[in-house]
Each structure stands twice: as structure tokens, then as C-alpha cells.
Amino acid sequence: MIFTTWVFAVFLLASLAVYWAVPVGWRKPVLILAGCVFYIYSVPKYLFLIIGLSVIVYLAGLWILNANRCKSFFTPRRVMILGVLVPALVLFVFKYLRLAINTLNQVIGYFSWGPPLPVISFMVPLGISFFVFEFIHYMVDLYKGKIDPGSLNLGNFLTFTLYFPTLVCGPIKRYQQFSQQLGEGAAFALDGALEGMRRIITGFGKKLILADTFSLLTGVLATPESAGGAALAVGAYAYTMKIYFDFSGYSDIAIGTSLLFGLKVPENFDRPYLSRNVAECWRRGHMSLSSWIRDYLFIPLGGSRVNRGRNLFNLMVAMGICGMWHGAAWNFLAWGLYHGAGLGVHRLFRVYIGDRFKLPTPVAVFLTFHFVVVGWIFFSAPNLTKALVTIHKIFFAWIGG
């Protein structure tokens, strides 16, 4: 169900009417049911998969708590790892198995090792990447004692999992903050509703007016062989603006919709294109994802506590996974590694030069913005080859070659 359709508007109004009409104790079941209806409208056959995964992760969480009280092979750490691996494996099968088999078939064909393997392809379940990241957060934080055991019940967890405003494009929630709000049972607040409407209108404006207008100029990026460098440069700038207004618009609608239910979800964007460096850009853009990458990938790999070489390696691994999370294609991996390299260079610059040399803010913002523009070329291209063709043509058009 797309946010910018009349179907969603009718669905939202009906959900709000029921939600605020029922007693506080019935609000969580209303949100769970609304999430199921939302999901069934889009891809009904996978609803039971998502609910099944939710129940497995929830039971694994209870198992972690019980494992603390008894000695067995299944220690809390092992149960946590199992609870992380199950949804991660499901994500791999549905989203990455085809890419893995196709890549392996290319290797088999190149070395003439025999007939290709059969390609298995599945329709990717709606929101599976967001589900899995929230499941991983839940298991890790529960294991680390960051989640109050008193907040654990199946109603809270299913509401957290199936909360439809964040189901498609985030923001990525944290169970601690979300479940606390569920337990408070806030009364309807006019100020919150008005702010929610303001955010929704802002999101619609970003999406339908700005993003859709910029998208009219991005078509050349799909066929760079038949376009000139100047046209491709315009397309790259347009895509840079289109993806920001598209995604931040959807985030605004999700945040505003959530406010209508009296609930707050994380902010996602804070003018990232005005950042002075790539690290600041990641802190201000897609904030719920960047904080997840930091907390559940970069820090567990060793973060900044290791030597400088390992630290840079950790950055590349974390950002490479971030890139692949966005899509099952090698150009997404290239986008992630490109940003990982940018973060690494920024970190080295800060260590060896620090405050001894600072660019004027307009120059720093200009350079950071154009670094991001080049990255979006990898992201927007149908494949890695076309991305490289686009960059090559823009570069030679720029130098006059």
C-alpha cells in the first residue's frame, strides 16, 4: 500500500477512527490488525512468513532470559546468535540467493566447470530488510540487557514488528523507546495531531512535487551509452535531489502518521546535503540506518577501539553491508564501499591533519555534496558497468575531453 494513494488515505482514516474509539487496552490489537491489513494489501502470501519470523524472534528473546537461569549448551550468547541468524538467513534466501547463484554461474561458465546451476528466484517480501534489521537490534539489545524484561510480551512485540507507518521505508525503530510509548497509553492530543498533519503535508509535497519532478530528468542514467556527458551530469544532480526528497518525504509521512496515533518514531533526515564532510552527512542523512550500522555492525567489529588499519577495514565492511542491504546488485556494494572509502579518508585526515587545516564551510559543503552526487551514480545505475560508463562520460565532459 503506497502512502501517496487514496487507498492509504481511506485505510489511515479508518484505522485512526477505530484506534481512538476503542479503550486503551485494545489499541495494540488495533495496530496489529491494521499492520496485517496493510501487509495483506501489498503481498498477502508473505504475511504468515513475517508473523512466523516475529514469533520465532520473540521466543528466542524469552529463551535468552531463561538461559540465564539454567546451565545448558544453549547459552544466552548462542541463543542470541541463533535469533539473529534465522531472520538473516531468510533475508539472504529471498533477496540475495539469486545474485549469489548468478555470480557463481558466471564463474562456472568462465572456467568451463560444467552446466550452470538452476536459478532460484523469489518475490522479495515487502519490508523484509527493515524487519530483519529491527529483529537483529531486538536480539542484540535484549542479550546486552538494554531492554527491560518487564516490557516483553507478544502484544508489544507484534505491534513493534507490524507497525504499518514504518513498515515499508522505516525509520528503523528501537524496541525500548517504542514499547515504552505503548505502555503509556497517551490520550489524544490536538497539538500532536496538527504536527502530524504538517509532517504528512510536507512529505506529500516533497514526494509528489519535488521528487517526481526531478525524476523526469533521471532517465538518461538507465542508458548512459546513448547520452552525452552533460545530460548525464544533469541526470546525476537530478537523481541526487530526487532520492533525497523521495525518501525524506516518505519519512515525513511515516513520522506524521505515527504522530496521529500518539506515537513517536525516530527522525531520519536533518539537511544532509549541507554537511561539511561525509561523516557528518551520514549522521544527518538516513539517521536511523546510520545509527543502526554504527551500533550493530561497526562497533561489534571493533569500531574505533582497534588499530588504524583494522578500523578502516571495519568501516569498509560495515559500509559494504550497508550498500548490499539497499539492493541485491554489485553496484549497491560499490556504492557502500565508495562511502566506506570516503569515511576512511575523512578519518585519516582528521587524525593526521585535524584542526591545522580547515576548508571554508561553503567549500567543504560543496566538495561533500559532489562526493555524494558521484556515489548516487552507483546507486541509480541498472548495473555497475553502466555506472562506470556514466562516471567516465561525465568526467571527460568536465575536463573537455
Furthest-apart CA atoms within the chain: distance in Å: 72
Over residues 100-155, the pLDDT tens digits come to 999 999 898 888 888 888 888 788 888 899 999 999 999 999 999 999 888 889 99
How far apart are the C-alpha atoms of 185 and 165, rounded to whole Å?
Answer: 18
Cell (9 digits) for 172 = 528503523
Enter the C-alpha cell of residue 90: 531468510
136 touches 83 (CB < 8 A): no
pLDDT in tens, 141-159: 999 999 988 888 999 999 9
Please list the alpha-helical segments (H only) found in 301-399. Answer: 308-326, 330-352, 361-380, 384-399
Kindly report whether the peptide bond that precedes residue 29 is cis, defined as omega within 30 degrees of 0: no
Residues found in the chain: 401
Task: Parse the chain into domains and list their residue ranges.
Answer: 6-185
Question: If residue 330 lies in a helix (H) or strand (E), which one and from where to where?
Answer: helix 330-352
**Is this model's pTM higher than 0.85 or not?**
yes
pLDDT over 60 at 401, yes or no: no
DSSP 262: T
Q: Verify whether residue 137 is a known catalytic residue.
A: no
Q: Which of 286, 326, 370, 392 is catalytic?
A: 326
